[in-house]
Amino acid sequence: MDQASILARAYCIKIFLILLSITATASVMADEVPASGWLVPANTPFQTTKPLLEQVVTTDSKTDLSHVRIKAEQGYWFIVDLNKRSQSKVEVIYADNSHLAQLNFYILDESFNPLVEVKNDAYRYVDKVLPHALLPKDEARWAVIYARHSEDDRLSIGLATGNEFANLINKKLRNFFLITGLLLLCLAVVGTVYGLSHQAKSLYLLAYLVCVLSEFLIAKGVLNYFNIEFASLWYTKLQFSFQVIALGVVNFYFIHYLQSQNLLNARQDKLTVYISLFCVAALFSCFMKQSVQFAVVTVCLGSMLVVLSYLFFYWLSNTKKAMQFKFVLVWFAVVLQTLCWQATLVAGAQIQQLNDMLLVLNVITFVMVLLIHERKCVMQYSYSLTHDDDTKLPNKQLLIERLDSQVKLSTEHSLLLFRPAVLINARANFGYEHVNEQIKLTMGKLAQQLASMNVLCVEANLQHSRCIARLDDSTYGVVIVGKLELSQVEQFVCVINSVFAEGLTHQRIHLIDKVEIGVANYPLHASTSLQLVQRGLQALAVKPLHGERWHMFNIENVTLSQRRIAIASALKEAIECDQLSLFFQPQIYLNTGKVHGAEALLRWEHPQLGNVPPDLFIPIAESSGIISDLTEWVITQALQYQKKMIVLLPEHIVSINISAKDLLRKDLPVLFITLLNEHQLNPANVMLELTESATLFEGVDIKNALNDYRLIGVKIAIDDFGTGYSSLAYLSKMGFDEIKIDKQFVMNIEYSKNDQTICRATCDIAKSLGSYVVAEGIEDSQSMAKLQSYGCEVGQGYFFSRPLPFEDYMQWLEENLETTTVFVNDLEKVVDLIGKNNY
């Protein structure tokens, strides 16, 4: 449910209440002016009726003509004495039944001779509302009405002055249009609610209102205005059929509701069939005689009322919830309306006004119940927008609203965000339901301790006051009012840590963990509430160092984080757009001066970021998942260059660094095999360099992965040896072909006894394991001589060459091959000189 739908539903409720207050002031009762006279059952035409009328007036007594029942196919003469018309100023005679098959008015003189032919062409639309005749002045002595209908019906004869008749017409029309308008308004409101919510109860109420509106329009003779001759015999009977269908809709809704509550599964199908049969029987009864139809409708209404009562009391006896007043009200209103409908079949127009009143009251009741329910849904939705579903704590939106109010007042405040790691671990071990209960208890304890401190109430109402907000699944926030003081922040940090120091326990499992805390201040760190929340999250994301318990927002950390994000987003593009390049640093045999090979080093020159060092973008590539693409690019380029380098030096060895993330990839050995075959390279001339930390990554699987590469024929080297925690047994088990001494032990080897000891021991270890040693970071001849004396075979460093682009490296390689002999002679002299000085 989106916010627009909720607002639209709220506006529907308001519009309905406004219009309802206007229409509720109107009366649904109509005044009647009854008449008295003589009633003569006879089917004779008017020309032959004069003796009969004279005899009846002379011999019979008057009767009340306000409520007369006529039988089917029987004609009736109604005689009204107008002799005293001048005293009462009677001007109109009318019959309150507009859908009779035949209704004729005659105005007679003292001798029962017609004075004038009654024609109401000028008032034909008024005649559709209330059939009538205008009485001539001073001449009319008798008024005679002839009435006949195809079915049993009722008729009311009345006299009125012109003003009284006009008022009577106005009241009838006003009541008709007010009730019709109210029903149409209710239809529009319920239709709108259904269009927005698509709930079944709205659809059922919509169908009920359609049936009630149809029944009301037929009862008021609306079809008379359209002169539908062929339908005049049966359309009025639809009034009672729509009553049955309306009650059937209510039953269907109760069945649907009970089914949704899993209370009526077994009996549902049978009850639905019974109610459907009653509705069909009511429809077919329109083509039966009126007496038969009344019997059928009475049985259908009574039967469905029994079913409705059964469903209602069945719900009361089986539901575990407290009895809802709205269901009792709906049931009582439907029962009362049904009883009134059944009484109308017997009493007819005498209780039609009561039926109209009940109709209005019931429709208003049903729609109000629906709107109250929708209002409750709107309130619940509004509450859910500003509160967490699990813990009922204020959420991020409500927190930002409160921060906005503080910003508008220019009040200094600090946002303290904390993330208890124990909650994340507890969800994985204990489940959400238990942890949510523990969160409520823990946050309740924390709120009690913070209540006496200078905190901002994020939510304050009659029920409760809350100062803790939940931003997401594991992050919570507290607003500290006032200037930023580190001592005050420390006090809050102590309170929070003390509350979570107890940890969480469930089924004898006890979890205790740290709490990460970040703080940002307004206006020191942010100028808006959203920015303040962002600053707080950035402070929260900083990893704690040296026992720190919390972090204040620092722009330097943000700059570094933003640079890491920019690098991660640009790295994928760098691979695709060929922004990367390989540099090669030569590796030299220390004894002979010949070229052993070169280590391939990755370099990245970004157009905007500039030169990005590998130490920065390699970890980012590993954390962002781009390292696989990066490794494949390096291997592909290195082996392409190796094909060109072996043309100058067939025994040239290229060393390729591989990440620990890619070491266990099953498709990487396949890539090596494909490229080696494609370029026709000797696998023994390819060296994979693994850092010591990478070789300690999931130990057993690493050995199996290395065996896959050894089957190909590729050699394996351990890089940066001495910086990790490898044991001799571990090195022996792995069986590395090459051990590289890290440059931090080589650069100060001339002056550091510890570095000398480490390098000498590494060379001894390598010899005992059958591996050869490569020393990194050789920058002068003295370091080279010492390593050579320890038995180190190969060296690389600035003393030989800096890392070179491929073209420069090829040129260097070609020149070096020509000067190797001279270099070896010079090297022997240097070694002899160093040996004399040392010994």
pLDDT in tens, 820-829: 544 445 545 5
Phi, psi of 547 (to 5 degrees): 75, 15
The helix/strand/coil state of 376 is helix
Residue 818 has pLDDT above 90, yes or no: no
Structure tokens at 710: 């050894």
> Averaged over 647-656, what is the pLDDT?
92
Which has the minimum average pLDDT: 156-165, 307-316, 318-327, 510-519? 318-327
What does the pLDDT read at residue 131? 83
Please, what CATH class does the domain formed by 574-838 belong to?
alpha beta
What does the pLDDT read at residue 839? 35
The helix/strand/coil state of 81 is strand
pLDDT band at 815 (very low <50, low <70, confident <90, very high): confident
> Averaged over 155-172, what is the pLDDT?
82
The CATH code of the domain at 3-25+171-379 is 1.20.1070
Note the helical H segments in 40-161.
50-59, 85-88, 124-129
What does the pLDDT read at residue 154? 77
Same fold, 389-553 and 574-838: no
Residue 620 has pLDDT above 50, yes or no: yes
Residue 265 has pLDDT above 90, yes or no: no
What does the pLDDT read at residue 22? 36
* CA-CA-CA-CA torsion sign (80, 81, 87, 91): positive
Residue 32 has pLDDT above 60, yes or no: no
Q: Are 794 and 652 in contact (CB under 8 A)?
A: no
pLDDT in tens, 52-65: 777 777 777 777 78
What does the pLDDT read at residue 246? 87
What does the pLDDT read at residue 486? 85
The CATH code of the domain at 389-553 is 3.30.70.270
pLDDT band at 116 (very low <50, low <70, confident <90, very high): low
> Would you list the domain boundaries of the chain?
3-25+171-379, 36-155, 389-553, 574-838
What does the pLDDT read at residue 39? 77
What does the pLDDT read at residue 224? 57
The helix/strand/coil state of 772 is strand
> Averaged over 551-571, what is the pLDDT?
76
Whether the predicted model's global pTM rises above the 0.75 cut: no
Residues 6+ apart with CB under 8 A from 149: 70, 72, 73, 100, 101, 102
pLDDT band at 14 (very low <50, low <70, confident <90, very high): very low
Pairing of strands 153-155, 76-81: unpaired
Alpha-carbon distances of 87 from 38, 80, 139, rounded to whole Å: 21, 15, 14
Annotation: CATH topology of 36-155: Immunoglobulin-like (2.60.40)
DSSP letter string over 423-470? HHHHHHHH-HHHHHHHHHHHHHHHHHHHTTSSB--SEE-SS-EE-EEE
What does the pLDDT read at residue 703? 76
Q: Are 469 and 396 in contact (CB under 8 A)?
A: yes
The total number of residues shown for the chain amounts to 839
Residue 262 has pLDDT above 90, yes or no: no
Residue 645 has pLDDT above 90, yes or no: yes
Percent of the chain with pLDDT over 70: 79
Phi, psi of 651 (to 5 degrees): -90, 15
pLDDT in tens, 669-715: 889 999 999 999 999 999 998 875 555 554 446 777 788 888 899 99
